[in-house]
Each structure stands twice: as C-alpha cells, then as structure tokens.
Amino acid sequence: MFGWTTFDVTSQLPVHWDTDFAEVVRKHQKDRLLTPPHSTSREQNGTPALRTSTVRGSVMWEELPWIVDLYRGWFRELGERFARRTVIAATDRRYAVVLNVQDPGGDRSECHVDTNPIACLLYATSHRPETGGELAIANDVRSRSVAEVDRDCSVIYPQKGHLVFFDGRSNPHYVRAVTGGATRIVVAMNYYTEECPESTRPEDLDDYLYGSPVVG
C-alpha cells in the first residue's frame, strides 16, 4: 500500500492565509491545455488534452513571500522528518512553489509520476468525498491509466490547513475532477535530496507543463 505523512499546520499559518491564496488565484490564475504524452505521463493512448489551471511560481515569489519562506524553512524541516534524510528546496522558481486550481465542473489532472523524491501539498480548501478533488494514487506501480489507478488506489482527501508529504516517483497518481462545492486550491511544492538532486529533473518537463498556450 502507498504511504504518506500529514501534518496539520493550520495554527502556524498567517491570519487570512486562505483568503490570500484565493485573492492570488483571482488575479493570476492561468489556464492551459496539457496534451499527453510525456515521459512522466501514465495516460491511456488517445487521452484528449486536459484543461489545467495554475498560479505560476514566479507569482508566488512576488505575491506570497511568506509561503516561500515556509517552503525553504519549516516545511522543509517537516519534510526531513518524513524522509529521514537531508531535504533540499528547489532553486528554480518555476516549479518550487506553485498553486494548482480546479474549478467545479472542470477537468481532472493528468495521471503521472513525479520526478522529484518528495512532493509536498498544502491544502487551502477542504472537499467532501462526494464533491471530488481527491488525489488518487495507485498502489500498483504498473498502472498505466486512470482506470488502472482507480482499480487499486489510496486516496487523499483535501483537508484545509493540512500539509502532505509523499514520494510519487513510482506510483502513478492524479486528481479527480471537482464535481461540486468550491474551487479546489492547493499549494504544490517540490523537494529534492542528495541522492536525487534538482539536476535530475527532465529538461523538457517545464515546457510540457507550462509552455502550452494560454486558453481563454
């Protein structure tokens, strides 16, 4: 079975932290079409383009420096408790800290594997099981489609103020579509280790994730 570690960090976050995120989303949310496949994709052949929404990393540095400080500091230290080894923050602002956004009625995320050894998620919204937005992670590393992931998976439901660490390099995973309730907002953070440094990130991954034309 797949495993992860969760910390409730609500009490240590700034006042109105969630509304700060919502305001940044309102001003800076960018939509794009992500078209599989990529080396990290675990999608069935013929999967159509998926509409995805983000607030880019450069915006996070400019608009929300406090989350960057937490990413480099306390969150990284919590990551070391999870990984039981030295954890290194990314230096590239494009992918170190980003906001992922899913509006009700929108697409799911791409089914994929990670290239960094430690993924960190801070949920800014909570979602009930019946409203979608959960992270489905295959227990079988051989899964090669959403259907195969769903056949045997662990599920993480978004809980506001919860920080989640996991290693998604071997286990394909995706976020299910939000079918009701509020917009799903989550801070996605990437960490590295001495054994798996930032230099191992595929050179074409950022073009794949962020280089598609913006769609209106």
* Predicted local distance difference test score (pLDDT) of residue 215: 45
- pLDDT given for residue 131 in this prediction: 96
Structure tokens that stand for 179 in this block? 């079918």
Residue ranges in the chain modelled with pLDDT below 70: 212-216
Q: How far apart are CA 171 and CA 82, in angstroms?
A: 17
Instruction: Please tell me the predicted confidence (pLDDT) of residue 4.
Output: 98
pLDDT at residue 84, as a whole number:
97
CA dist 70 → 43, 64, 89, 196, 204 (Å): 33, 11, 11, 22, 28
Q: What is the pLDDT of residue 213?
A: 40
